[in-house]
Amino acid sequence: MNATVDVELAVIGGGPAGLAAATLAAEGGASVLLLDEQASPGGQIYRNIEAVCDRRPAIAAALGDDYRGGLELVRAFRRSGAGYRPRASVWEIAGDGALAVVGDGGAEVLRARRLLVATGAAERPVPVPGWTLPGVMTVGAAQTLLKASGLAAGEAVIAGCGPLVLLFALQSIAVGAPPRAVLLSEGFGDYLRALPHLPRAVGSLDLLAKGWGWLRQLKSSGVEVVTGVSAVAARGGSAVDGVGFITGGGRRDIDAGLLLLHQGLVPNGHLLRAAGCAQEWDPAQACWRTRRNSWGATSRNDIAVAGDCAGIGGALAAAEAGRLSALDALYRLGHIGRAARNGRALPMAAALRRHLRPRPLLEALYRPPAEVLRPTAPDTVVCRCEGVRLAALTELRGLGVPGPNQAKAFSRCGMGPCQGRLCEATVGRLLSDEPPLAGRTPQTYTIRPPARPVTVGQVAALDGLAEPAGEVSGMLDR
Amino acid sequence: MFKRLPEADEATIEFHFDGQAYRAVAGDSLAAALLANGIGQFGRNAADNSPRGPHCMIGNCFDCLVLLADGRTAQACLTPVAAGMRVRPYDPATAGSPE
Amino acid sequence: MTANGGPVEVAVVGGGLVGAALAYGLARRGRSILLLDEGDVALRASRGNFGLVWVQGKGRGLPAYALWSQRSARLWAELAAQLREDTAIDVGHSQRGGALIAMSEEELAGFGEMLAEISEAVGPENYEHELLDHDGLAKLIPGLGPDVPGGSFTPYDGHVNPLRLLRALHAGFQTAGGDYRPRARLAHIEAVEGGFELRSQAGTFEAGKLVIAAGLATPDLARQVAVEAPIHPVHGQLLITERAAPRLAIPTNIVRQTDEGGFQIGYSNDELGYVTGTRLGVLRDIAHNAVRALPYLAGLRILRTWGALRIMTPDGFPIYARSTEHPGAFVFACHSGVTLAAVHAMICPGWIDGDGIPEEQACFSPERFDVQTTA
Ligand SMILES: Cc1cc2nc3c(=O)[nH]c(=O)nc-3n(C[C@H](O)[C@H](O)[C@H](O)COP(=O)(O)OP(=O)(O)OC[C@H]3O[C@@H](n4cnc5c(N)ncnc54)[C@H](O)[C@@H]3O)c2cc1C
Ligand SMILES: Cc1cc2nc3c(=O)[nH]c(=O)nc-3n(C[C@H](O)[C@H](O)[C@H](O)COP(=O)(O)OP(=O)(O)OC[C@H]3O[C@@H](n4cnc5c(N)ncnc54)[C@H](O)[C@@H]3O)c2cc1C
Ligand code: FES
């Protein structure tokens, strides 16, 4: 076994959770290395923040105060003395804790005494008819282009629900590229469902007020806003050229060269799942997430999690959770005692609770509609990579296929390059909750390495591995 | 589709897609560079040959695949554009083969 | 109580390649068949294998196994055609010969000895094979790595898409009227008058005959019908790459290009117990080996690596048994369930339906292991 330890704490992911954690741990005296897939620190929300704030002030202003607010987090990280590896993707956490990383220089193995996974969230897939056409993207994708490259999404039709929909519509207006229309799937029923959660969220009225304010602002901007939209479908030949949908007023169709979809976020958990960290079903967020305690400790005692990859909580909560995990890492690494850890944690835990308070309300209000969770049009592509349509999965159910893993073997759904990221929730729902059993949670694919693409040649050239072969990861005991 | 905002318009790099020359800004991903030039279809799906272009922009969907000159595939949303780069649309029939 | 419409003629336990092939063949013979299987997550070698229909090197020490593998290989084209007809599923069968790639001179010499020995035992007229030097092998496998010393070739070998095969067997079974029950793990077998009572996760079933083909779970079940089936798990790790244009025409012991275009690369052999996880060191080793064999693989992206458990007998040869105490009960357990799918679907159902396992196949009885320990 190769015992060389490169650092005490490796942090995977450079969003608010990872940045806050790496900063606190480095300031606390630990040797820290932060690995992030992006070219600069910030994660999804604060993507490219240094360059935008520095060189593109008008875009920074359009992105808003919540965006610019991240700059302090990034600056503190830069000052902290934590090591930083941009453009470095972690593709496996091996059974013995070795980190397999791939970057511009090829693949390599790093070792740390503890790992903090802060890989964030991804947008929930929105399987509607036509969603594989070029020009059908996610709202986050368009926002990424705005942050990273100053590209504005002109004349887009935006469809879905959630804060990001409103935020991005306003950001687009602010940069002078208003959307053609915003189609909101939420309707009156969602507001009714959300009402009971209001009292608990009262402590965070500012945030709620912001949300309502966004909607008002959007409605008064002159952009067409349609609520209670269902049956969104993209049409087109070699690219999208229009979108059909149903509203209270009946069926409609709008021309569109760009359709942006969004139905909330789900944790980016493949790395953790392949590493064998236990998962749990989160009914409110309708997704699987990694089981962890209040310090972010997972079922593997060398791995902790923080931020959206452990359950969606937003950027402020992510940073607080990152700090808590970093405190625990300092304690476990012997830099601070238990009392110091717990004492310092109190205000952070209180802040975390405050940031999480409006979540139940948001979750009730912005719950993805049933038709997104369980598409019904037979020709809807469910697995984008392998082009597997709903009708093919229905046929499998007829064969008695008991769940997503057998469905995968039989149809190739989930076997393509994305390894099921965009279809597992749909396939799980279609194949495991019928007949509906109370309390039954959708099954998922078994996830295996690599979590990120790495070539045969890069793996062949790896050194620094345990001999003969290391521990088994992601084991299944029986 | 997408248009570059004046403030971000610092296009100085030349690269090639499908034999055509285009300009990009240093620091762009290949995906941003192509979209900024009005190119929305990056290739064809390996399983059913349907036209595809970037969907998620964060490395998850693999619909932004292109082929590099040596035949390797690359996710355009995660690959920085570089001066003189030659890329081709992803096509399962030629994936793995050099230009 | 019976969990379905009533008793069946034969219940097959295990919906992997072995059980499904037997069940398919039995259902095609017009029998009423029940197929009991576990749920979605299970130890199921049939979902994790390398897909070879392979004869080369099989049967060293047991010529009957070499001949049995060959018999299956010869029947494979017919099985593929029959499945296509019954289910419209193309299982991607291609059988134009296969190569063993030797990574060292010693290995090459070993291949030579092995093939000569088997050829001698089964008769050279039954065992066409060639030992090739680097240039000879490179003619069959363009792009072969420069430091590969050579290899061997036999014309009998081929490969299929093993997942579509599993699906086709399931579909063919159901098209022929078979009753498939997933999430129905069999726990207890009771011999009753005229057959067996089977207590499963999904209720109790009754069957006149019973076929146990439950992969690694076979020993526990077989013991309940007084058959000892000594098998143990042997871990194999593999990887699959992204799709690429067709380049490798024949399958080899190290790598094959699937009908979908991905390269499947194998594989390790380790005794790790009942775990199906993967090891980074093994991934590196199989990748390293593959790049030495075919340098052009270096630029392809790995989509996935996984582990699966082989169903291994002490000598590596199949166990086919009929219980002496309960003559209506049969036990089938083997490695190489892809290769043997043709005989399992087309020959063995006749045994179950008829007078039992023929005399010339008695060498596959697990009693051979008792003989070894007492000798
Ligand atoms: C596209 C997108 C846009 C968003 N925009 C907004 C917004 O404008 N406003 C808002 O309030 N919220 C937004 N969100 C939600 C926001 O991202 C989260 O609430 C918050 O950023 C969570 O912080 P985090 O640190 O947990 O993760 P993230 O900020 O997502 O950071 C995770 C980081 O890990 C990296 N990473 C992932 N996997 C690996 C790996 N295997 N190896 C190395 N690095 C890896 C990612 O590249 C990323 O840099 C957005 C989410 C997405 C997906
Ligand atoms: C890495 C690897 C590579 C291989 N490569 C090849 C190859 O190239 N060529 C080849 O010919 N062979 C190959 N094999 C071997 C081949 O995969 C197996 O021989 C074959 O899949 C075995 O099928 P099976 O049905 O016996 O077992 P399995 O596929 O394991 O199926 C057993 C079934 O029984 C079910 N079951 C278990 N217990 C119960 C119970 N109590 N009640 C009901 N159901 C139960 C299970 O759920 C499962 O469905 C390989 C195997 C491995 C692991
Ligand atoms: S756009 Fe989804 S992976 Fe690149």
What is the mean pLDDT of the segment spanning A343-368?
92
**B26 in A contact zone (CB under 8 Å):** no
Overall domain count for chain A: 3
Local confidence band at A150 (pLDDT 50, 70, 90 cut-offs): very high
Q: Please list, in sequence order, all residues whose beta carbon lies within 8 angstroms of the beta carbon of residue A206, skipping any fewer than 6 positions away.
A: none
CA distances from A108 to A88, A89, A98 (A): 10, 11, 10
Inter-chain CB proximity C242 and B71 less than 8 Å: no
A:101-120 residues touching chain C, CB 8 A cutoff: 109
The Cβ of residue A241 has, within 10 Å, a number of other Cβ atoms equal to: 15
Is A16 within a domain? yes
Is A319 within a domain? yes
Cα of C310 from ligand 2 centre, angstroms:
7
Query: Which residue is associated with the tokens 């229009």?
Result: A242
Determine the pLDDT at residue A466.
61
C328/C196 Cα distance (integer angstroms): 8
Inter-chain CB proximity A140 and B56 less than 8 Å: yes
| Residue A475 in this model has a pLDDT that exceeds 50 | no
Domains in chain C: ranges and CATH = 2-49+163-230+315-374 (3.50.50.60), 96-157+232-312 (3.30.9.10)
- On the question of a cis peptide bond just before residue A468, with omega within 30 degrees of 0, the verdict is yes
**C243 in B contact zone (CB under 8 Å):** yes
Is A409 within a domain? yes
Nearest CA to C303 out of C319, C282, C287 is that of C287
Q: Are residues A166 and A207 in the same domain?
A: yes
Cβ(A368) – ligand 1 distance below 6 Å: no
pLDDT in tens, A197-253: 777 666 666 767 777 888 889 989 999 999 999 999 999 999 999 999 999 889 999
Report which protein residue has its CA nearest ligand 1's atom 47. Answer: A37
The distance of A18 to chain B (nearest Cα, Å) reads 17
Is A235 within a domain? yes
Q: Are residues A145 and A158 in the same domain?
A: yes
Tell me which ligand sits closest to the C-alpha of residue C231: 2
Determine the pLDDT at residue A186.
82
Task: Give helix then strand counts, H and E, for chain C.
Answer: 10, 17
Cβ(C50) – ligand 2 distance below 6 Å: yes
pLDDT in tens, B6-45: 999 887 899 999 999 999 999 999 999 999 999 999 999 9
Q: Domain boundary residue among A234, A263, A292? A: A263
Inter-chain CB proximity B95 and C244 less than 8 Å: yes
Determine the pLDDT at residue A201.
65
Q: Are residues A206 and A311 in the same domain?
A: no
Structure tokens that stand for A276 in this block: 């064998």
Determine the pLDDT at residue A213.
86
Cβ(C54) – ligand 2 distance below 6 Å: yes
* Contact yes or no for A159/A72 (Cβ under 8 A): no
- On the question of a cis peptide bond just before residue A178, with omega within 30 degrees of 0, the verdict is no
* Ligand 2, atom nearest to C187 Cα: 41
C2/C205 Cα distance (integer angstroms): 5
Local confidence band at A196 (pLDDT 50, 70, 90 cut-offs): confident
| Residue A392 in this model has a pLDDT that exceeds 90 | yes
Is A466 within a domain? no
Q: Domain boundary residue among A237, A263, A289? A: A263
Determine the pLDDT at residue A4.
64
* Ligand 2, atom nearest to C220 Cα: 41
Q: Are residues A320 and A195 in the same domain?
A: no
Q: Are residues A132 and A252 in the same domain?
A: yes
DSSP summary character for residue A125: P
Residue C261 with chain B: CB contacts under 8 Å: 46, 92, 95
Inter-chain CB proximity A472 and C167 less than 8 Å: no
Q: Are residues A423 and A381 in the same domain?
A: yes
Is A378 within a domain? yes
Cα of C79 from ligand 2 centre, angstroms:
19
Local confidence band at A433 (pLDDT 50, 70, 90 cut-offs): low
| Residue A33 in this model has a pLDDT that exceeds 90 | yes
Local confidence band at A435 (pLDDT 50, 70, 90 cut-offs): very low
Is A450 within a domain? no
Q: Are residues A345 and A374 in the same domain?
A: no
Local confidence band at B97 (pLDDT 50, 70, 90 cut-offs): confident
B57 backbone φψ class: left, alpha, beta (φ>0; ψ -120 to 50): left
Give the ipTM of the model, two decimals please: 0.98
* Contact yes or no for A250/A132 (Cβ under 8 A): no
Local confidence band at A476 (pLDDT 50, 70, 90 cut-offs): very low
Under 8 Å CB pairs connecting chains A and B tally to 142
* Contact yes or no for B58/A38 (Cβ under 8 A): no
Give C241's strand partners: C302
Is A460 within a domain? no
| Residue A438 in this model has a pLDDT that exceeds 50 | no
| Residue A477 in this model has a pLDDT that exceeds 80 | no
Structure tokens that stand for A178 in this block: 């208003």
* Contact yes or no for A233/A126 (Cβ under 8 A): no
Cα of C215 from ligand 2 centre, angstroms:
5
Q: Domain boundary residue among A206, A228, A263? A: A263
B31/B66 Cα distance (integer angstroms): 9
* Contact yes or no for A260/A137 (Cβ under 8 A): yes
The distance of C304 to chain B (nearest Cα, Å) reads 15
Q: Give me the CATH number covering residue A138.
A: 3.50.50.60
Q: Give me the CATH number covering residue A378.
A: 1.10.10
Mean pLDDT of all residues belonging to chain A = 91
The Cβ of residue B14 has, within 10 Å, a number of other Cβ atoms equal to: 13
A194 backbone φψ class: left, alpha, beta (φ>0; ψ -120 to 50): alpha
Residue A403 with chain C: CB contacts under 8 Å: 39-41
Q: Are residues A108 and A139 in the same domain?
A: no
Nearest CA to C29 out of C213, C176, C208 is that of C176
What is the mean pLDDT of the segment spanning A52-71?
96
A302/A329 Cα distance (integer angstroms): 10
Can you give the residue range of the structural domain that contains A216? 125-263
Local confidence band at A1 (pLDDT 50, 70, 90 cut-offs): very low
Ranges of residues in chain C with a pLDDT under 50 are: 1-2, 373-375
SS3 A457: helix
Nearest CA to C307 out of C347, C279, C286 is that of C279
What is the mean pLDDT of the segment spanning A80-102?
96
Determine the pLDDT at residue C3.
53
CA distances from C371 to A54, C246, C341, C368 (A): 82, 49, 28, 5
End-to-end CA distance of chain A: 27
pLDDT in tens, A294-322: 999 999 999 999 999 999 999 999 999 99
Pairing of strands A303-305, A112-117: parallel
Q: Are residues A258 and A215 in the same domain?
A: yes
Q: Which amino acid is at C174?
A: Q
Cβ(A16) – ligand 1 distance below 6 Å: yes
Q: What pTM does this model have?
A: 0.95
| Residue A189 in this model has a pLDDT that exceeds 90 | no
3-state SS of chain A: helix, strand, coil percent to 5? Answer: 40, 20, 40
Inter-chain CB proximity B47 and A257 less than 8 Å: no
Cβ(B40) – ligand 3 distance below 6 Å: no
Domains in chain B: ranges and CATH = 12-91 (3.10.20.740)
Q: Are residues A314 and A248 in the same domain?
A: no
Q: Between B42, B50, B59, which is nearest A132 by CB?
A: B50
What is the mean pLDDT of the segment spanning A85-96?
96
Q: Which amino acid is at B63?
A: D
Q: Are residues A179 and A80 in the same domain?
A: no
Local confidence band at A453 (pLDDT 50, 70, 90 cut-offs): very high
C328/C225 Cα distance (integer angstroms): 9
CA distances from C303 to A122, A404, A416, A444, C40 (A): 19, 18, 7, 18, 22
| Residue B66 in this model has a pLDDT that exceeds 80 | yes
Q: Are residues A150 and A73 in the same domain?
A: no
